[in-house]
């Protein structure tokens, strides 16, 4: 079966999220992966940076401004705050955007400040992204030009509780105990993500 293809770019291509996107998109029948964009490793082949992607793409890491990227759809795999600014620029270019950060998941600027400890740079645009959980918002996602990918804990918690909620079986406050792998911290190095510290260990992550 032939699928109509969309030209796609991955921004933040050298992080863990970006690398996984490249792996998935490279073999998707409806995707023509056109650009892999980052501010580091520029000029290197994707497979040189991430050997596990060898044979999937011949693309080179590029450092391009949003206004230079001519595609139908952009995936943003960038840190919080950075993604908000870059995402707004892609919106201005009339490109469809899927954002993997937390910058566009919330609709209330005060909630963003509460949970992320920062003022949102574009509070007037909050609410312009559809929350990208297909099990809840499939129809809205299909009609939207901007989608905010939900976080890992939110996705796991929501999908686990959804059947109970739909059958009216949830009462009172729900408490969830969840764990994530160390790769959830991203590719950046820090004392808290160093392998000898994280390996075969369990560490509380923002318990309150």
DSSP strands (E only) in 64-145? 73-76, 96-99, 130-131
State the Cα–Cα distance between residues 138 and 121, nearest whole angstrom.
28
Q: In which region does residue 206 sit, left (phi positive, over 0), alpha (psi from -120 to 50) or beta (all else)?
A: left
pLDDT of the residue at 201: 79
Where is pLDDT greater, at 59 or 207?
A: 59
Query: Tens of pLDDT along 174-199?
Result: 998 888 876 655 556 666 666 777 77
CB atoms within 10 A of CB 85: 13
Give, rounded to a whole angstrom, the gap between the first and last alpha carbons of the chain. Answer: 50
CB 89 within 8 A of CB 69: no
pLDDT of the residue at 208: 65
pTM of the model: 0.86
Query: Tens of pLDDT along 14-52?
Result: 998 999 999 999 999 999 999 999 999 999 999 999 999
DSSP conformation class of 129: S
pLDDT of the residue at 189: 60
CB 110 within 8 A of CB 129: no
Residues recognised as catalytic = 152
pLDDT of the residue at 188: 61
Domains and CATH numbers, the chain: 6-151 (3.40.50.720), 156-198 (no CATH)
**Cα atoms in the Cβ-side hemisphere of radius 13 Å centred on 200:** 1
State the Cα–Cα distance between residues 146 and 53, nearest whole angstrom.
27
Phi and psi at residue 46, in whole multiples of 5°? -55, -45
% of the chain beyond a pLDDT of 70: 90
């Amino acid at each position: 079966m032939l699928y109509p293809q969309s030209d796609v770019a991955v921004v933040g291509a050298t992080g863990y999220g970006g690398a996984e996107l490249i792996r998935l998109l490279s073999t998707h029948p409806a995707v023509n992966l056109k650009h892999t964009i980052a501010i580091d490793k520029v000029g290197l082949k994707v497979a040189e940076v991430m050997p596990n992607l060898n044979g999937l793409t011949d693309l080179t890491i590029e450092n391009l401004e949003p206004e230079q990227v001519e595609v139908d759809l952009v995936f943003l795999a960038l840190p919080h705050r950075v993604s908000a600014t870059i995402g707004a620029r892609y919106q201005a270019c009339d490109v469809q955007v899927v954002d993997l950060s937390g910058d566009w998941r919330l609709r209330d600027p005060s909630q963003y400040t509460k949970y992320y400890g920062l003022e949102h740079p574009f509070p007037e645009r909050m609410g312009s992204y559809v929350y990208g959980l297909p099990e809840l918002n499939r129809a809205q996602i299909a009609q939207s030009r901007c989608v905010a990918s939900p976080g890992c804990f939110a996705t796991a918690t929501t999908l686990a509780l959804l059947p109970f909620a739909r059958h009216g079986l949830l009462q009172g406050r729900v408490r969830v105990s969840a764990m994530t792998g160390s790769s959830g911290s991203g590719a950046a190095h820090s004392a808290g993500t160093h392998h000898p510290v994280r390996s075969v260990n369990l560490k509380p992550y923002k318990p309150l």
